[in-house]
């Protein structure tokens, strides 16, 4: 009977090689992201817009038949391109059919500014599901969106891959369209 023994040293060597491959991939993706960002900043600077720092009820809403429309406002965040959207959940803080809630952000949006720096959002706030003649809906929404710099090391490899793909499609739309056809 021929059995193959795997030694601790072999497993450690494999782990080291995998880590080196991941770091090499991370470095390559970051270089591509920086280059594609520079291309976009030069060709289409209007794609970089100021991020909102507030989300809530539309200003001047007076029709009580419908819930107010929601809008982003206070655009004082970084001038950037949003790469991924935030993942949030509105958690009930009271019981009943019409209830109050608070916003919980499990993963903030990831954005990239014209200089290739990453930004991450965090959303906190409250609102309620209210009764309206047409249908129930959110109202009294007051959500603050805080933006903070994110180090390259804190951006996951999956996020870097997604970011590079999005930036490549924006920087080279003809090539992206051709690749989608094949």
Residue-wise pLDDT for 111-124, tens only, equals 999 999 999 999 99
Place 2 in a pLDDT band, splitting at 50, 70 and 90: low
The predicted-structure confidence for 25-42, as pLDDT tens digits, reads as follows 999 999 999 999 999 999
State what percent of residues in the chain have pLDDT above 90.
69
pLDDT at 1: 52
pLDDT digits (tens, 9 = 90+) for 45-93: 999 999 999 999 988 866 778 888 999 999 999 999 999 999 999 999 9
Identify the pLDDT of residue 103: 97
Model confidence band, residue 109 (pLDDT cutoffs 50, 70, 90): very high
Mean pLDDT for 118-140 is 92
| Per-position DSSP letters for 92-144, written without gaps between them | ESS-SSS-EEEEEEEE--EEEETTS-EEEEEEEEEEEEE--SS--EEEEEEEE
For residue 119, what are its two tokens?
């930004």
């Amino acid at each position: 009977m021929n059995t193959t023994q795997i030694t601790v040293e072999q497993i450690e060597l494999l782990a080291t090689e995998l880590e080196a491959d991941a770091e090499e991939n991370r470095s390559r993706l970051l270089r591509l992201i920086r280059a594609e960002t520079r291309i976009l900043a030069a060709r289409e600077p209007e794609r970089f817009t100021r991020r909102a720092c507030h989300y809530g009820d539309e200003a001047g809403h007076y029709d009580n038949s419908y819930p107010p429309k929601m809008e982003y406002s206070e655009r004082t965040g970084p001038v950037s391109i949003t790469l991924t959207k935030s993942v949030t959940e509105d958690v009930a803080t009271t019981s009943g059919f019409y209830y109050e809630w608070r916003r919980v952000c499990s993963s903030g949006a990831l954005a990239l500014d014209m200089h290739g720096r990453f930004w991450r959002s965090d959303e906190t706030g409250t609102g309620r599901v209210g009764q309206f003649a047409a249908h129930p809906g959110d109202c009294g929404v007051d959500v603050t969106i805080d933006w903070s710099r994110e180090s390259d090391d804190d951006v996951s490899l999956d996020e870097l891959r997604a970011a590079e793909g999005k930036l490549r499609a924006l920087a080279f739309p003809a090539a992206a369209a051709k690749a989608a056809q094949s």
